[in-house]
Amino acid sequence: MATVSIRDFSFIPSQLTVVADDSVTWTNDDGTDHTVTADDGSFDSGPFGPGASFTHTFRQSGTFPYHCDIHPDMRATVTVT
C-alpha cells in the first residue's frame, strides 16, 4: 500500500508509481477539506476533512492524473504498471 499526504494545499508526493492491484491511501494532513478526484472520473473521494483518509485500489495499468475539486490547482498523478 502506498500513501499520499495532503498538506499545504499539495499532494505529497505529486508523482507516484504503483503496480496493478495496489491501493493508495490519501490522508488529509491539512487544515481544510479536500477531495481526491480522478480527471477521468474513475475515482472520487468526495470532500473529506482534516485527519480523514481515502483509499482507492488501482486494478488496471495506466496513468491517472487527479486533482482536488475544491482547490483545482492541486494536481498529481498515479502511474500504475
Taking CA atoms, 54 is separated from 1, 58, 66, in Å, by: 12, 13, 14
Contact 78, 13 (CB under 8 A): no
User: What are the residue boundaries of the structural domains of the chain, listed by start?
Assistant: 2-80
C-alpha cell at 58: 488501482
Q: Residue 23: its pLDDT value, please?
A: 98
Q: Is the peptide bond before 47 cis (omega within 30 degrees of 0)?
A: no
Residue 3: its pLDDT value, please? 98
List Cβ neighbours of 41 (8 Å cut-off, separation of 6 or more): none
Query: Whole-angstrom Cα distance, residue 14 to residue 26?
Result: 11
Tell which CATH architecture fits domain 2-80. Answer: Sandwich (2.60)
Q: What is the pLDDT of residues 25-78, one digit of tens each?
A: 999 999 999 999 999 999 999 999 999 999 999 999 999 999 999 999 999 999
- pLDDT at position 22: 98
What's the chain's length in residues? 81
